[in-house]
Structure 1
Amino acid sequence: MTEEEYLALYEKHQAGTATPAEQARFDAYLGAADLPDLPWNEAEHGDEAATQAAIYQRLRQSGVSAPARRRRTPWAALLAFVVLLVAGGYWGWQHRVAPAVAQRPALPTTPKALRPGHNQALLTLADGRTVLLDQAHLGLLAQQGGSQVQKTADGQLRYAASTAAGALLYNTIATPRGGQYQLTLPDGSQVWLNAASSLRFPVAFTGAERRVELTGEAYFEVAKDARHPFKVTARGAEVAVLGTHFNVQAYDDEPALAATLLEGAVRLSQGAQQALLRPGQQARCWPQKPLQVREVDVQHAVAWKNGYFVFNDEPIEAIMRQVARWYDVDVQYQGTLTNKDFNGKISRYKDAADVLRVLELTGAVHFTTQGRRITVQP
C-alpha cells in the first residue's frame, strides 16, 4: 500500500466514512505492519514499558487511534508508526523521549485558526504601479516595454515578448509571509517564489547576461542559452548558470545562504570565493566564513515547492522559522528548549495546529497559540 493510499484510508477511518471493505483493508494493514525490532537502552531512556504507556496515553489524549499491540513494539518504531497517522504526514524525533515524558501534562488544544499559505503576491511595475496578483483578472495585466505581462489561466505570471525591446525596465514580484507564486520570465525561465521573498528582474533580457536579484527563497528552471548566462544575486553572493534547475535560499534570518543544484551546473561566487556545483550538491556561504560544499538530498531543499515541510536533523528554531513564514505568525520562546534535532515530513497545506500537534507528540516541545503568536516551550 502506498503512503497516499494509506492516508486516504486513514482519513476515512477517522471520519467514520470508510466502507466495510475499506475498514477491513485498513485494519489488516495495521495488523500486518512490520516494525523494525530496535534495541532499547534502559539506562538512557528509562523503563520501556512505562515510556510506551505514556505514549499511548498521549495518543488517547490527542484523539489519535493507536495500532493494535499485537507484539512487543520498540519505542522508536512505535513513534515512527504513530506519527504517520497524524495530520497526513510523518514526524520523528532523532532521539528517544526521556522518562520525564510520563509526567508531562495533557497536550493543550491548539486553535485551528492559522490557515496555510496560498498563491498571493504583489507585482510592482516599472512606473511604481502595483498589482495584487491573487486578485487580478486573467489575461493582459500591463504592457512593460516590449513585453506583455499576463496572468495565465492557472494563475501564474507570464512575460511574453510582443515588440522589440525598448528602454531597460525592471519589475519586482514580492510574496508576503503566507504567500507563494510562480512566474515565467521573458526568456522562458520558470521561477517558483517561496513565502516572504522577492525577485527583481528586467522585463526583457537584452544584454550579454540575464541577471535577477533575489531575497528570500526561489526555485529556478532556467531556459538554456549558452551565449547569455543566467545570474542570481542574493545576500552578497552570485549564482551563475547557463541552463539548469536549482534552488536558492537567502533569507536574512537564516544563518547562511544555500544554493542547491538539481540539474546542470552552477557556479557560486562570494567575494574572492568560488565553488562549482554538480547535481546533488549544495553550497552554503556565511559572512566572513569559507564556502562549504556538501552532498545533500535535493528533494529536501525543494520540498517547499512540492507542498511539504521536510526536516532532516533540524533544531526546533529552524523548523519554526519556516512555520512563521508560511503561516504568517510570530514565534517566541520560553524556558530551556530541547537541543535534540527533528526529522519528518508533513504537508504544507495542513493548518498550523496540525503541524504543532504532531511536533508535540514527540514530547520534546509544546506550544500555546494566542492570535497569530505561537509560544514554544519545553
Structure 2
Amino acid sequence: MNEIKDLLDRYFNGTCSEAEKQNVETWLETYNKEDNEWLAMNKAQQELWLNSLFTQIEVDIDRPGLLRKIPQRSPIRMGILLKIAATIILLLSIGFLFFKYQQATPTTAGPANQEIITGGNRAILTLANGQTIDLSHSKNGEIATQAGLTITKKTNGELIYETAGQKEISENTGQAITYNTISTPRGGKYQINLPDGTQVWLNAASSVRFPASFRNLPDRRVELSGEAYFEVTKDANKPFIVVTEKQETQVLGTHFNINSYQDEGQTKTTLLEGSIRVSDKANRNIILKPGQQSTLKAGNIDIRNVDENDAIAWKRGLFSFNDENLESIMRKISRWYDVDIHYQDTFSNTSFLGNISRSKNITSVLKILEKSGEVHFKIEGRRITVMR
C-alpha cells in the first residue's frame, strides 16, 4: 500500500520515471474513461480525488472481509497494486472527491500549525439516582447495578446492560420506571447495548435516555438527541420507539440511523434493514423501506432513495460528503473535533463530494478542503475561522 502512495507522491512531485508516469495516467484514464473526468480535472482536483481514494483504502485495511477477496502475493508489481486499489474502490462504489465552486478567490492563508486531536470513545452515564460515571476514565468490568441489571464496560469501551439475576428482577417488579442517560460530548462517540440487547452507536454531541429495564413495559421507548445508529433486537410483542424532538420512529426489529441535531434544522431517518414507521407531531405516518430516507423539515416529511452507507459513514470512521455544502461540513467538524466555527465570508455555492477519514487530525482535514482553492482556514486555539 505504501508503494502506491510513494508512487503517487513522486507523480505529483514530478520525480517519477517516464514509465511510472505513464502507468499512473493510463490507469487513471482507464478508470474514468466513460466521462474522462480525470483528464478534465486540474492538479488540485486530482490531488483531492487521490486523497479520497487512499482515505477509503486506509479505512478498509481494517476490514479483512473485503480485502480477503484480493489475492495476496509478494512481491507485487506496481501495476498489480494499482489494480488492487481500483478494485477496492469499485467494490465500495466510492466516489472521487471534488468540489463545485463559483468565482474562486485565490489566497495563501492556511491552517495554523496547532494540534487538535480527533474524537474518540467519550461519554457520560447518568444513572437513575443522579450518579454520573465518566465512561472515558472508568475501569473495565462491572461499573454499576440497578433495577435488577448489571452495567458492564468492555475492553473496547462498549457498555452492556445484562440481567443480574431472576431474584433481583422479581424484587424490582412494580417499582417506578427508572431512567438512564448516555451522553457524548463534542469530540465523543460511544456504543451501548440496551437492556433488551439492542445496540446503539452514538455520534458526537448526542444522548439517548432509556429505562433501566424494559420489563413490564408495553413498549421499548427511548429518547434521542443528536445522532445515533440502532440495531434493534426483535420483539413482536414490544415495539421499539425512538422519540426525538419532532418525530417518533417505531420498529419491531431493524437497522436504522437517525440524525436529529437541533442545529441542522431537520430530522433525517435512514433505513438499512427491515421496516419502520415515522410519525411527526401532527400524527402523520410514513413507512420506510430499506434504502429510503425521510427528512422532516418545517412540518413537511419528504422521502427519497439514498445510499444508506452515506448516512452511517460516521459509524465507519468517515466524513462522507454527498454534494454537501460547506456550512454543513463545518458543523460535522465542529462536533467531532470540539471546535467553534466562525465565518469571515459566505459560502452558499461551495459544496464537496467524497470521503475523509475521521481519524485524521483537524489540520489534515482542513488542508484537504483547502486544496479546492475555494476556502481557507485559520486555527486559533479551538476557534476555526473560515475565509476565502
Task: Work out whether the TM-score is over 0.5.
Answer: yes
**Residue 175 of structure 1, CA deviation:** 0.2
The residue identity in structure 2 corresponding to 1:181 is Y
* Structure 2: distance between partners of 1:239 and 1:139: 33
* Structure 1: distance between partners of 2:376 and 2:200: 36
**Residue 161 of structure 1, CA deviation:** 1.0
* Structure 1: distance between partners of 2:187 and 2:18: 40
Task: Identify if the C-alpha distance between structure 1 residues 11 and 109 changes in structure 2 by more than 3 Å, giving closer, same or farther.
Answer: farther
Task: Identify if the C-alpha distance between structure 1 residues 15 and 146 changes in structure 2 by more than 3 Å, giving closer, same or farther.
Answer: farther
TM-score (norm: length of structure 1): 0.81
Partner of 2:41: 75
* Structure 1: distance between partners of 2:125 and 2:22: 52
Task: Establish whether residue 34 from structure 1 lines up as the match of residue 28 from structure 2.
Answer: yes
Partner of 1:282: 293
**Residue 29 of structure 1, CA deviation:** 5.1
Between 84-93 and 243-252, the greater mean CA deviation after superposition: 84-93
Point out where structure 2 has 5 or more consecutive residues left out of the alignment: 11-16, 56-95
* Structure 1: distance between partners of 2:23 and 2:360: 25
Task: Identify if the C-alpha distance between structure 1 residues 118 and 275 changes in structure 2 by more than 3 Å, giving closer, same or farther.
Answer: same
Point out where structure 1 has 5 or more consecutive residues left out of the alignment: 17-22, 41-71
Q: How does 1:1-378 map to 2 (within 5 A)?
A: 5=1, 8-10=2-4, 30-35=24-29, 36=32, 73-75=39-41, 79-86=44-51, 88-89=54-55, 91-95=97-101, 98=103, 100=104, 104-163=106-165, 164=169, 166=172, 167=175, 168-206=177-215, 207-270=217-280, 271-287=282-298, 289-378=299-388
**Residue 302 of structure 1, CA deviation:** 0.3
* Conservation of the 8 A alpha-carbon contact between 1:91 and 1:358: no
Moved over 4 A (4+): 10-16, 23-29, 37-40
* Structure 2: distance between partners of 1:356 and 1:344: 14
Deviations 1:222-274 (A, max 9, x none): 00111100000001210000000000011110120011000000000012211
Calculate percent identity across the aligned residue pairs.
Answer: 41
The residue identity in structure 2 corresponding to 1:335 is D
Q: Secondary structure at the match of 1:305?
A: helix
Between 225-234 and 268-277, the greater mean CA deviation after superposition: 268-277
* Structure 1: distance between partners of 2:41 and 2:6: 27
Q: Secondary structure at the match of 1:73?
A: helix
The residue identity in structure 2 corresponding to 1:91 is L
* Conservation of the 8 A alpha-carbon contact between 1:315 and 1:342: yes
The residue identity in structure 2 corresponding to 1:284 is T
**Residue 109 of structure 1, CA deviation:** 4.2
Q: Secondary structure at the match of 2:309?
A: helix
* Conservation of the 8 A alpha-carbon contact between 1:80 and 1:92: yes
**Residue 363 of structure 1, CA deviation:** 1.2
The residue identity in structure 2 corresponding to 1:32 is T
TM-score (norm: length of structure 2): 0.79
Task: Identify if the C-alpha distance between structure 1 residues 239 and 355 changes in structure 2 by more than 3 Å, giving closer, same or farther.
Answer: same
The residue identity in structure 1 corresponding to 2:137 is Q
* Conservation of the 8 A alpha-carbon contact between 1:247 and 1:260: yes
**Residue 32 of structure 1, CA deviation:** 3.1
Give the structure, 1 or 2, with the largest relative contact order (CA under 8 Å, sep 6 or more). Answer: 2
**Residue 73 of structure 1, CA deviation:** 3.1
Deviations 1:282-331 (A, max 9, x none): 111124x2211111110000000000000111110000000000000000
Give the number of the structure whose residues are more often helix, by fraction: 2
Task: Identify if the C-alpha distance between structure 1 residues 186 and 27 changes in structure 2 by more than 3 Å, giving closer, same or farther.
Answer: farther
The residue identity in structure 1 corresponding to 2:46 is F
Task: Identify if the C-alpha distance between structure 1 residues 10 and 34 changes in structure 2 by more than 3 Å, giving closer, same or farther.
Answer: closer
